[in-house]
């Protein structure tokens, strides 16, 4: 008889909330994931198209060309951020504007999180996953997300390509797959809660090494950006003089500023390569490093004002190669404060593994930061990628090893009892 009595309002509300949560996390995966990929690609693409039209109007108030030319320029800029390269007046330009690439990666991450949250109810629960049951929710969602993104990228390449620009569609597909598989797949795993489940199976020292890697890499990029900004500010008059010699009006100056901002991540990586020691080139047969600077005639571009003068350098510049070791030591020690250990071997392994991983990641960034920037000597612009990789792995590895050991000594010093030194 009690089953015939009406349930309480509180229980009905709880049931409604549970039903609503279940519906929110079990949305159609096959439909939602591709739409998420299309939205991730189209959102940044639309912004680039709008900027292209505005730039076309600002240059000469629309006196030359049509709005379609502005749209094509914006689309080509978006494609260049995916490694397509373009041909301008018969010269190949393969330099990737990493500012747009970073914006694309951020958009993929945000929408990937939303997709992950929306499909988190699919597949087995945490208990069944822990028991070893196969879960294909994240791989399937990532593949469909990538499919939507790649389809949008290929369509944009087909519509924007001309016989003179000739963007590389194959490179666009490859970059799109890498971005969606790494950034998008990670975001879907985090949003769906699978990343937290999988992380419980990872050894603690591996998680600590990854934390140290992230801390070292972020700190190094901040130091590199500060180095570039300081160099540019110290010679800001040259940048202003370049703008004046170009006879730019307000619209042209705005476009130059925007273009410079899009290349700011590239300049940051160039500065990091300089601090590591190998340096970078700004043309065939040129070198910019702490030990020597050999440069020739350069195009009139404001960011190039940060370059040092050609010729012999001051003696103190050679000591800049100690910067990566110090940054890695501080980054590893800082990371170990959150995940303390009193075991010497664990502190050493954490630091060394984190430093080597950070060096590998920065070497990858250095390999994609350069390219051809025009005809003639400007066919070769960018860090010396292989040398940067070797130097970064060595410097970050040694520095992080020393930082991990130093923080382990400090944490052992703070241990009060023998039980603190040997938790086992």
What does the mean pLDDT of the chain come to? 84
Position 171 pLDDT exceeds 60: yes
The token duo for 182 is 């790494």
As a whole number of angstroms, the distance between CA 397 and CA 352 comes to 5
The 10s digit of each residue's pLDDT in 374-399 is 887 888 899 999 999 999 999 999 99
CA distance 108 to 191: 12
Would you report the helix, strand and coil content of the chain in percent, each value rounded to 5? 70, 5, 25
pLDDT at 115: 93
* Model pLDDT, residue 308: 87
Is residue 260 pLDDT above 70, yes or no?
yes
pLDDT recorded at residue 212: 94
CB atoms within 10 A of CB 314: 8
Q: Is the pLDDT of residue 5 over 50?
A: no
Query: Where does residue 225 rank: exposed (0-12), middle (13-18), buried (19+ CB within 10 A)?
Result: middle
% of the chain surpassing 90 pLDDT: 46
**How far lies 75's CA from each of 48, 117, 158, 168, in Å?**
6, 31, 10, 13
- Which pLDDT tens digit goes with each residue over 345-382? 888 999 999 999 999 999 999 999 998 888 878 888 99
Q: Where are the alpha helices (DSSP H) in 246-370?
A: 250-262, 264-276, 323-338, 344-369
Question: Following DSSP, what letter does each residue of 183-207 receive, concatenated?
Answer: IIHHHHHHHTTHHHHHHTTS-HHHH
Structure-token match 């404001």, residue found: 302
Buried b (16+ CB within 10 A) or exposed e, 362-372: bbebbebbbbb
**Do residues 306 and 416 make contact, with C-beta atoms less than 8 angstroms apart?**
no
Of the listed ranges 138-142, 251-255, 347-351, the least confidently predicted one is 251-255
Average pLDDT (289-307) is: 85
Residue 191 CB-half CA count within 13 A: 26
User: What pLDDT score was predicted for residue 132?
Assistant: 59
Q: Each residue of 400-423: pLDDT tens digit?
A: 999 999 999 988 887 654 445 444
Q: Is it the case that residue 113 has pLDDT exceeding 90?
A: yes
Which pLDDT score is estimated for 315?
Answer: 74
Gap between the Cα atoms of 209 and 277, Å rounded: 25
Angle, to 10 degrees, between the axis of helix 344-369 and the axis of helix 385-413?
150
Whole-prediction pTM value?
0.87
- DSSP structural state of residue 309: P
Confidence band of 16 (pLDDT split at 50, 70, 90): low
**pLDDT greater than 80 at residue 104:** yes
pLDDT given for residue 130 in this prediction:
61
Q: How confident is the model at residue 126 (pLDDT cuts 50, 70, 90)?
A: low
- List, for residues 213-239, the tens digit of each pLDDT value: 999 999 999 999 999 999 998 888 777
pLDDT tens profile 183-208: 999 999 999 888 888 888 888 889 99
Nearest by Cα to 374 from 90, 157, 170: 90
Confidence of residue 6 (pLDDT cuts 50, 70, 90): very low
Residue 253 scores a pLDDT above 80: no
Does pLDDT of 274 surpass 70?
yes
The pLDDT value recorded for residue 20 is: 55
Distance CA 122, CA 139 (A): 12
Q: Quick check: helix, strand or coil at residue 228?
A: helix
């Amino acid at each position: 008889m009690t089953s015939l009595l009406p349930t309480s309002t509180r229980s009905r509300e709880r049931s409604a909330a549970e039903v609503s949560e279940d519906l929110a996390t079990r949305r159609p995966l096959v439909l939602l994931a591709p739409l998420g990929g299309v939205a991730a690609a189209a959102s940044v693409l639309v912004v680039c198209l709008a900027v292209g039209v505005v730039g076309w109007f600002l240059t000469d108030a629309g006196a030359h060309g049509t709005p379609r030319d502005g749209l094509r320029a914006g689309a080509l800029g978006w494609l260049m951020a995916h490694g397509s390269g373009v041909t301008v007046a018969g010269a190949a330009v393969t330099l990737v504007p990493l500012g747009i690439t970073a914006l694309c990666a951020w958009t993929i991450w945000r929408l990937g999180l939303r997709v992950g949250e929306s499909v988190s109810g699919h597949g087995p629960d945490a208990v069944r996953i822990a028991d070893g049951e196969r879960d294909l929710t994240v791989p399937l969602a990532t593949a469909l997300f990538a499919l939507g993104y790649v389809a949008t990228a290929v369509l944009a390449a087909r519509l924007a390509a001309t016989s003179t620009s000739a963007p590389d569609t194959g490179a666009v597909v490859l970059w799109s797959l890498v971005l969606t598989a790494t950034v998008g797949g990670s975001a879907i795993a985090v949003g769906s809660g699978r990343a937290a489940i999988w992380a419980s199976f990872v050894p603690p020292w591996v998680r600590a090494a990854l934390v140290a890697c992230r801390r070292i890499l972020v700190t190094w990029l901040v130091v590199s950006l500060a180095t570039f900004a300081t160099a540019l500010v110290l010679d800001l008059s040259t940048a202003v003089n370049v703008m004046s010699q170009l006879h730019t009006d307000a619209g042209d100056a705005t476009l130059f500023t925007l273009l410079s901002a899009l290349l700011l991540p590239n300049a940051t990586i160039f500065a990091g390569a300089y601090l590591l020691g190998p340096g970078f080139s700004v043309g065939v047969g040129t070198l910019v490093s702490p030990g020597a600077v050999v440069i020739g005639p350069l195009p009139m571009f404001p960011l190039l004002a940060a370059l040092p003068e050609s010729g012999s350098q001051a003696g103190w510049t050679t000591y800049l190669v100690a910067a990566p070791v110090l940054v890695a030591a501080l980054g590893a020690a800082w990371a170990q404060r959150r995940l303390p250990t009193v075991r010497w071997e664990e502190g050493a392994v954490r630091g060394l593994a984190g430093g080597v991983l950070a060096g590998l990641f920065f070497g990858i960034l250095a390999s994609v930061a350069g390219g051809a920037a025009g005809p003639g000597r400007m066919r070769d612009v960018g860090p010396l990628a292989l040398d940067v990789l070797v130097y970064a792995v060595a410097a970050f590895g040694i520095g992080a090893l020393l930082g991990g050991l130093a923080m382990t000594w400090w944490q052992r010093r703070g241990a009060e009892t023998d039980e603190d030194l040997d938790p086992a």
